Amino acid sequence: MAEIGKRQSTIDNLLQGFPVVVEFPVAWGEMDSYRHVNNAVYFRYFENVRLEYFRRLGWFELEQATGVGPILAATQARYRRPLTYPDMISVGAHVGTVGQDRFTMDYRLVSHALGEVAAEGQGTIVAFHYGRGKKVHLPDEIRRRIGELEGAK
């Protein structure tokens, strides 16, 4: 029992500063012929935590009212340790820089089995008016909500 508590403490420390964290099991089918999770799957993990971040911002409801939603403009990953089945992972997201029409979101993926960071990534999210088909200024309300969720750092 003490080992589980120690491991959870390590995971919590590694994800400190990430206000949104989600947990997923690693699925057998996510592995490739080299018996580790395929590199493309990490982007799905990042997408899941990104969408949870947006949900907590209430952006989907705001999008229905304004037509302005998020669109992923760029993404990257750095693989640090291979993931294998079975494992649980915790994936954290936080917003770094905020610009006029975009912001960067940083991701950190921690393996419970390893007790270490398995990958890190970043995405550039642009405010996009879907009806007009073009980028727009990031709504002030989204800026405010990001600041609130991030603890107004």
**Domain topology for 2-149:** Thiol Ester Dehydrase; Chain A (3.10.129)
Rounded Cα distance, 31 and 39, in Å: 9
Q: Where are the domains of the chain?
A: 2-149
Q: Would you say residue 32 has pLDDT above 80?
A: yes
Closest by Cα among 95, 101, 105, 97 to 137: 101
What would the DSSP string read from start to end of 96-128? EEE-SSEEEEEEEEEETTTTEEEEEEEEEEEEE
With a cut of 70, say whether residue 150 has pLDDT above it. Answer: yes
Cα separation of the two ends of the chain = 35
pLDDT, residue 143, reads 97
What's the pLDDT tens digit per position in 84-112?
A: 999 999 999 999 999 999 999 999 999 99
Distance CA 79, CA 99 (A): 27
Three state DSSP letters for 6-69: HHHHHHHHHCCCCCEEEEEECCHHHECCCCCECHHHHHHHHHHHHHHHHHHHCHHHHHHHHCEE
Task: Check residue 1 and give its pLDDT.
Answer: 56
The verdict on whether omega for the bond into residue 139 sits within 30 degrees of 0, i.e. cis, is no
Q: What is the pTM of this model?
A: 0.94
116 half-sphere exposure, CB direction, 13 A CA radius = 7
pLDDT at 138 over 80: yes
Give the pLDDT of residue 152.
61
